[in-house]
Amino acid sequence: MDLSRLIQRSEFEWELPQKGNMRVPGVLYASRALVEAMDEKVYQQVRNVATLPGIVGASYVMPDAHWGYGFPIGGVAAFDPEQGGVVSAGGVGFDISCGVRLLHTGLTIEQVRPILPDLMDALFNTIPAGVGSVGQIHLSDLRMSEMLRGGAWWAVEQGWGLAEDLDHIEEHGRMAGAMPEHVSHHARRRQADEMGTLGSGNHYLELQQVTDLYDTDTANRFGLKPGEVVISIHCGSRGLGHQIGTEFLLEMVKAAKTAGIALVDRELACAPAQSEVGQRYLGAMRAATNCALANREIITHLTRQTFAEMVSEAALTLLYDVSHNTCKEEIHTVQGRARKLLVHRKGATRAFGPGNAELPQEFRDSGQPVLIGGSMGTASYVLAGLAENEDKSFGSACHGSGRAMSRRHARQLWQGRKLVDDLRGQGIHVRSPSMRGVAEEAPGAYKDVDRVVESAEMAGLARRVARLRPLGVVKG
Amino acid sequence: MGWELFYHEADEGIRGEGKTLSEAFEQAAIALTAVVTEPDLVIPRIPVPIEVSDDDPELLFLAFLNAIIFEMAVRRMLFHHINITIDGPELRGTAYGELVDIDRHQPAVEVKGATATELFVGQKSGRWRAQCVVDV
């Protein structure tokens, strides 16, 4: 990205000035090097988002931002429904409520290392992953509606989860306002065999070792210790969310026109939040969020079963579950006035700081855990939310390292089998049904997660708590 | 070859070209398979009907791709090729493919949906072109 069009506000904050049909400025949080490396399309997409009706504050960009569709991946925008603000299917994306959860194991690296290859084999055999995979749970229409209302609560009620997990999930495990009646027959069909499946692409289950602590006090509160083995699970709302995104994106292209909204890019597809289409989308999108929460809870259940069979000393407890493709109704103070806003985070994580009433009691003093996924061969991070971020990006942070090259380019540079062998040489055991998929997800195809997280901390979006090194990966 | 993948940083651009609009759509459908696997690895043994409509040719293209993506997802199939006819807003045709075979196809990624990013349906240098970015 050409920096000459930006105003540098601080070392890690850049303003894209409001001009033309922009209603607000753009704000990018990243180091000079990361902003320079961003695609020119990110610049255009930040500007485009700033033209949407009812946007509040600015069109924000997180340090891992890259070219998305409509909104940039790593984009955050809030809209005020009372001021004609919109809700945008393009601003949430296809994989509604895709997210990450982190589980403690109660095990040390010394306990896990001898059994790591067998453990990875067992996890790979237990958790359906990859294109065409199906789960063991098949839902009738009635039960699917119950799942879409209940989220992780429903999974726990069915015996596929633990009640103590629920308070450690955003929305306390169940998104209010879900309207399963607005989830189409097609979306339900796509989900019929996909409960408890990991998916493909950048989705994974990863065993990790805590290697570094940056904030010992918060790490203690989060229960993270050096040498502990933890588990990250990254996946979303599977086919149901994809289909809802697909259907509403096309419907909102037309709805925007009907509402007199001139879209500079059709991918910004949106509707006034208070319109019939807007309300219907919010109901369906919230149902898809519950699908994602239930799905991660079920995968956690399968993971617990596997560990119980392999390592009797293991105790898998949930640190936290965050979603990073969302639209949430939140109350934020803007220029001294509390306003109810629809905050879109597309490839961005909620990062609420200390004192936020949305957080469970145990995180009220520390801020919420913010989980940042890496790639197969690179680190992941646990951060904590900061109260002052409320004024920076409505309490948001990055979600991963962000891709740095296309899948095709990655395929040309790496071979899946060789990559798996090389990673094994580094002590990282990869299990995947597709070597082509592994090549496309090569660690080198992503930005340097260390630099991304450093930017997030330096920009005041969240503070580093712990660094995690991969030990084993089940890749879809 | 009348199809290709084009650059997108995180997802994949698919493009089909041909002498007719239908041919451009058919070629783009092969590019859609190429996002997942090598199209030549797919055996066209099972026919699946595809039928969509839209007055806007670009939205018709998205509806066409989304119909294929839906069939891929619910039938656990990959498609070798698709034959279609377009009559005004109506598109009808048959996709030919087989069930996913993990070992043989080595499918890299699921396609979630077709996006309006880089969406174009029209003529370029006397040939029909249909393209967009698909989310993976």
The CATH number covering residue B70 comes to: 3.55.10.10
State the helix-helix crossing angle for A238-258 and B57-75, rounded to 10 degrees: 170
Does A249 contact B at CB distance below 8 Å? yes
Could B116 and A93 be called an inter-chain contact, meaning their C-beta atoms sit closer than 8 Å? no
Could B110 and A131 be called an inter-chain contact, meaning their C-beta atoms sit closer than 8 Å? yes
Dihedral angle computed from the Cα positions of residues A352, A353, A358 and A361, in that order, rounded to the nearest 10 degrees? 140
Which residue of B lies nearest to A42 if distances are taken between CA atoms? B9
pLDDT, mean of residues B49-62: 96
pLDDT of residue B76: 96
Name every chain A residue with its beta carbon within 8 A of the beta carbon of B108: 131, 200-201, 407, 411, 434, 436-437, 439-440
Bridge partners, A73 (sequence order): A66
* Amino acid (one-letter) located at B3: W
pLDDT of residue B1: 64
Residue identified by tokens 């149901």 is A240
Which residue of A lies nearest to B114 if distances are taken between CA atoms? A246
Active site residue A399: yes
Its ipTM equals: 0.92
| pLDDT beneath 70: ranges in chain A | none
Which residue of B lies nearest to A190 if distances are taken between CA atoms? B74
Tens digit of each residue's pLDDT (9 = 90 or more) over B10-44: 778 999 999 999 999 999 999 999 999 999 999 99
Check: CB of residue A211 under 8 Å from CB of residue A320: no
For residues A338 and A303, give the distance between their C-alpha atoms in angstroms, rounded to a whole number.
42
Domain count, chain B: 1
Tell me the domains of chain A and their CATH numbers.
Answer: 3-404+446-475 (3.90.1860.10)
* Amino acid (one-letter) located at A409: H
Token readout for A357 is 């009433």
> Which of A69, A250, A440 is opposite residue B59, by nearest beta carbon?
A250
Q: Is A389 exposed, middle or buried (0-12, 13-18, 19+ CB in 10 A)?
A: buried
> Which of A70, A90, A190 is opposite residue B70, by nearest beta carbon?
A190
Check: CB of residue A349 under 8 Å from CB of residue A71: no
Element spanning B124, H or E: strand B120-124
Could B69 and A70 be called an inter-chain contact, meaning their C-beta atoms sit closer than 8 Å? no
CA A167 to chain centre: 18
Does A376 contact B at CB distance below 8 Å? no
Which whole-number Å values give the CA distances from A270 to A19, A58, A136, B110, in the listed order? 22, 18, 36, 25
pLDDT of residue A447: 86
Residue identified by tokens 């097609």 is A186
> Which of B36, B113, B119 is opposite residue A131, by nearest beta carbon?
B36
Share of chain B above pLDDT 90, in %: 93
Q: How far is A221 from chain B (nearest CA, A)?
A: 36
pLDDT of residue A132: 87
Check: CB of residue A428 under 8 Å from CB of residue A376: yes
Cβ count near A117 (within 10 Å): 13
Q: What angle do CA A182, A98, A304 make, to 5 degrees?
A: 110
Check: CB of residue B51 under 8 Å from CB of residue B85: no
* B8 has a pLDDT exceeding 90: no
CB pairs under 8 A between A and B: 128
> Among A203, A332, A399, A429, which one carries the catalytic annotation?
A399
Mutation target to probe the A interface, by most A beta carbons within 10 A, among B109, B111, B131, B134 is B109
Domain that residue B15 falls in: 3-135
Token readout for A214 is 């940056």
Which of A31, A10, A156, A11 has the alpha carbon at shortest distance from A453? A31
Check: CB of residue A230 under 8 Å from CB of residue A171: no
